[in-house]
Structures are given as structure tokens and as C-alpha cells.
């Protein structure tokens, strides 16, 4: 259990025990009118499932180093999926069970049963939603289209199309190329002028490319395709036996992007030329709030760029925008990823919300401060939880337009 505080383990398993116990009493109350044999059968299945899941958790926390050193994510994903499928619905049901006791204390026994029945149905709907996110939602790509207007955009770039993809996390797909195959078909139809990948090609290891490189090679843009690194691409989340192994893995990850046809920008800039003019594309290494590493050097990346050049920045973590870009540079457009939109969200009356907002304010979509824009792509892959619930994998199409400048 090295690396996990003992106090956390105690609190966590106390929480799990309470959720299981309260939910058990809720279920018992809900089925008390059924026949004895049926009640016993349901109770047995409930207890058996709870014991199995709790046992799996205990085994996982007792073998954290085994999981951390594994290059196969299958067991980890099974643990995460079953834990969420079990604890999230039961947590809701346990809360409602406690609330129902209040009604019972006031002599409203019938209302308590109705409340428990409704809570059980909602909990079951949560299970279906989570299962949908795991088996279907994470493969259901959406294309987000945004038209952006800039008075400083050279007229030769009016109507210039940028396709942004981000956060593939290839290891999370195992050997299933379904998402990447879809992405290739979609991007081919969009016919981008520029294809930009904003980091996290893998979870940790260079061998996650295996089987996916042919698909990556098919991605293209008229004026090229460019990539930066994300926090996962440095191998910082694995206990390497020595620094040489880590460096070799990092070099192989970089080489994998280059082999797939990307131009990798590491605190560098390039000119994207159309006819007789150009814009500056800047790519920095990862910058993030701790514990995420800060390898980015925007000052170095911008050296030699004319002050009046139209600038597009690729920076994996959107936190970099407010910390180092807005009001400190004249970069017109910043493209980021990293958040995955929390892989969970809700949309009501056209307004989308993700709980990750509580941690990262700029978590998905378009943001603006004055004449500077940030777009945060919600990613194509997953990390941790192998699913997406109302937060579909995303390909972004940004079309740049020139607006008339001020009249003097």
C-alpha cells in the first residue's frame, strides 16, 4: 500500500462499509412485502455482489505497486468500472434511504416505501447510464464546429480551417482502433487546412502505439499536421527502474509522433504560409498546476516571431492560458485539451456543465477574454474511468474568418 496514506484507506473503507450497510437496509425495506423465498434470493445476490466488489477493492489497494507497474490497463479499468457501477448508484440510494427514515419517524411508512422505490429506479438508471458510457458513449464521436473572427487575421487566411484533436490515451483503447478509425473518416471529410494534436497521445508507455500508427499516419491537413506533448506523454506517472529507461520511453513517444507524420513542437514555433503571407503556430511542452509538470517555456517558443504576426498557440493544459497568455501576450488563439470535460456532464436547456468546473474553470469549449480566445477540446480517449457519460469524444473544427479592422 506504499504511496497511499493509511488514513485515506481507513476513511475510504469506512465510507464503503456505510454505503453498503445503509443500502442493504434500504433494499430490505423495499422488498419486505415479497415472498420469503424471493426476499432471501435477492438478499443473497445483493450480499454476494457487495462482498465481491469490496474484496476486489481490498485486493487492489493491497497490490497498488502491481497495478502501477503493469503495462496492461485491463485489470485497472475493470476495478474502476465495477467500483463506479457499484458505489455511485448505491451512494445515492443510501442518501435517500436515510431521508426516508425521516418520513417513517413521522408515521408515513407508505411514503417511505414510495420514496425508496423511486430512489431504486433512479439508481438503476444511473447504472444504465454508466454502463452506456463504458460500452457505447466513449466510442460516439461528435464534431464541434466554431467560427472565430479576428480583425488581425491576414486576408489570405479568411476561411482557414483548423481541426483539433486531443488526449487520445491510446493505451485506454487496448487494441481496439474503433475511435481512431472513425476519427480518420470524419477528418477526411472535414478537409482541414491544418491538423493539430494538443497532447496526451499515450497514458505512459511508447508501446501503446502498437496497432495504431497506421491510423495516425492517415490523419492529414493541407498545410501539415502538428503535435505537442501532454502531461501523460512524459511517463511521469510510472515508477521507472532508472532515469535511462524513462528517457528512452520519452524519446520513443516523441519518435512515434514523428513516425506518424506529425511535426512535434517543443517550445518552438513554425510559420504556416498561404500565398504570400503567414501566421505563427506556437507549440509548448506541458504546463500545469502542481502536481502536473511545467516544462513549457513560452518566452523561448516565441523568440523570433514578429510582434504583428497572427499567433496560434498549442498548450495542453488550459490553465496555462490564464496564467501566462491572457493580457501578457498578443496570442490570438490558444488550443488546449487535458480536461476530457471530466468525461461526465449534463446538458440542460442548451447549457452544458461538468463537475470538473469545480477544479478547472476552463474545462471545455470556447472561452474569450478581450480579443483573445481559448478553445478546450474534450478529447478522444479516456483516462482512469474507461467511459464517457454525456461527454462524447470530440473532434473540433475551427474556421477562422477575417473581420474588418477599425476605420481611421
One domain, residues 121 and 247: no
Per residue in 185-210, pLDDT tens?
Answer: 999 999 999 999 999 999 999 999 99
Q: Has residue 267 got a pLDDT over 90?
A: yes
One domain, residues 124 and 150: no
One domain, residues 108 and 150: no
Helix (H, G, I), strand (E, B) or coil at 225: strand
Q: Are 112 and 100 in contact (CB under 8 A)?
A: yes
Helix (H, G, I), strand (E, B) or coil at 88: helix
Query: Which three cell numbers, joined as nine digits, stand for 289?
Result: 498546476
Per residue in 141-187, pLDDT tens?
Answer: 999 999 999 999 999 999 999 999 999 999 999 889 999 999 999 99
Residue 195, preceding peptide bond in cis (omega within 30° of 0): no
Q: Has residue 107 got a pLDDT over 80?
A: no
- The pLDDT confidence band at residue 2, using thresholds 50, 70 and 90, is very low
Per residue in 237-261, pLDDT tens?
Answer: 888 999 999 999 999 999 999 999 9
Residue 41 lies in a domain: yes
Q: Please, where are the H alpha helices in 106-204? A: 109-135, 178-190
One domain, residues 124 and 160: no
Helix (H, G, I), strand (E, B) or coil at 240: coil
One domain, residues 155 and 102: no
One domain, residues 206 and 342: yes
One domain, residues 270 and 347: yes
Per residue in 316-335, pLDDT tens?
Answer: 999 999 999 999 999 999 99
Nearest to 376, CA basis, from 350, 400, 340: 340
Among residues 102, 135, 168, the one where a domain terminates is: 135
Residue 407 lies in a domain: no
Residue 408 lies in a domain: no
Residue 70 lies in a domain: yes
Per residue in 276-289, pLDDT tens?
Answer: 999 999 999 999 87
Q: Are strands 333-336 and 311-314 parallel, antiparallel or unpaired?
A: parallel
What residue has cell string 458505489? 87
Q: Report pLDDT for 321.
A: 96
User: Which residue range is the domain that position 282 belongs to?
Assistant: 143-402
Per residue in 109-127, pLDDT tens?
Answer: 778 888 899 999 999 999 9
One domain, residues 173 and 272: yes
Number of structural domains in the chain: 2
- The pLDDT confidence band at residue 56, using thresholds 50, 70 and 90, is very high
Residue 99 lies in a domain: yes
One domain, residues 380 and 245: yes
Q: Over range 358-383, report the average pLDDT.
A: 95
Residue 382 lies in a domain: yes
Q: Are 323 and 362 in contact (CB under 8 A)?
A: no
Q: Report pLDDT for 394.
A: 98
Average pLDDT, the chain: 92
Q: For the whole prediction, is pTM greater than 0.85?
A: yes
**DSSP category for residue 395:** E
Among residues 135, 151, 185, the one where a domain terminates is: 135
Q: Please, where are the H alpha helices in 153-242? A: 178-190, 213-218
One domain, residues 339 and 264: yes
One domain, residues 83 and 225: no
* Least confident window among 81-85, 103-107, 332-336: 103-107
Q: Report pLDDT for 6.
A: 78
Residue 190 lies in a domain: yes
One domain, residues 211 and 325: yes
**DSSP category for residue 198:** -
Strand-by-strand arrangement of the 268-274 sheet: 268-274, 277-283, 311-314, 333-336, 372-376, 365-369
Amino acid at each position: 500500500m506504499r504511496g497511499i496514506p493509511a488514513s485515506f484507506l481507513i476513511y475510504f473503507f469506512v465510507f464503503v462499509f456505510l454505503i453498503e450497510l445503509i443500502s442493504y437496509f434500504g433494499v430490505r425495506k423495499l422488498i419486505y412485502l415479497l415472498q420469503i423465498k424471493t426476499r432471501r434470493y435477492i438478499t443473497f445476490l445483493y450480499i454476494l455482489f457487495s462482498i465481491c466488489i469490496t474484496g476486489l477493492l481490498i485486493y487492489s489497494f493491497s497490490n497498488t505497486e502491481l497495478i502501477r507497474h503493469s503495462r496492461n490497463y485491463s485489470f485497472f479499468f475493470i476495478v474502476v468500472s465495477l467500483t463506479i457501477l457499484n458505489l455511485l448508484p448505491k451512494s445515492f440510494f443510501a442518501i435517500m434511504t436515510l431521508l426516508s427514515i425521516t418520513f417513517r419517524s413521522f408515521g408515513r411508512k407508505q411514503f417511505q416505501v414510495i420514496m425508496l422505490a423511486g430512489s431504486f429506479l433512479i439508481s438503476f438508471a444511473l447504472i444504465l447510464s454508466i454502463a452506456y458510457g463504458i460500452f457505447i458513449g466513449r466510442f460516439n464521436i461528435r464534431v464541434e464546429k466554431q467560427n472565430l473572427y479576428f480583425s488581425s487575421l491576414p486576408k489570405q487566411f479568411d476561411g482557414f480551417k483548423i481541426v483539433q484533436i486531443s488526449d487520445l490515451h491510446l493505451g485506454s483503447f487496448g487494441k481496439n482502433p474503433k475511435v481512431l478509425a472513425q476519427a480518420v473518416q470524419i477528418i477526411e471529410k472535414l478537409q482541414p487546412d491544418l491538423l493539430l494534436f494538443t497532447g496526451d497521445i499515450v497514458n505512459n508507455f511508447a508501446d501503446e502505439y502498437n496497432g495504431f500508427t497506421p491510423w495516425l499516419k492517415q490523419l492529414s491537413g493541407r498545410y501539415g499536421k502538428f503535435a505537442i506533448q501532454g502531461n501523460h506523454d512524459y511517463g511521469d506517472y510510472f515508477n521507472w527502474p532508472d532515469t535511462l529507461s524513462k528517457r528512452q520511453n520519452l524519446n520513443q513517444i516523441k519518435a512515434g509522433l514523428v513516425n506518424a507524420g506529425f511535426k512535434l513542437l517543443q517550445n518552438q514555433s513554425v510559420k504556416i504560409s498561404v500565398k504570400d503571407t503567414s501566421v505563427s503556430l506556437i507549440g509548448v511542452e506541458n504546463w500545469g498546476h502542481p502536481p502536473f509538470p511545467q516544462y513549457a517555456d513560452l518566452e523561448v517558443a516565441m523568440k523570433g516571431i514578429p510582434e504583428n504576426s497572427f499567433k496560434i498557440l498549442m498548450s495542453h493544459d488550459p490553465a496555462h492560458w490564464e496564467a501566462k497568455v491572457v493580457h501578457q501576450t498578443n496570442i490570438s488563439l490558444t488550443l488546449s485539451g487535458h480536461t476530457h470535460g471530466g468525461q461526465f456532464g449534463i446538458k440542460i436547456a442548451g447549457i452544458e456543465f461538468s463537475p470538473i468546473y469545480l477544479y478547472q474553470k476552463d474545462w471545455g469549449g470556447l472561452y474569450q477574454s478581450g480579443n483573445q480566445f481559448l478553445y478546450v477540446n474534450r478529447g478522444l480517449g479516456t483516462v482512469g474511468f474507461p467511459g464517457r457519460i454525456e461527454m462524447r469524444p470530440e473532434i473540433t473544427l475551427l474556421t477562422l474568418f477575417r473581420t474588418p479592422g477599425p476605420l481611421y
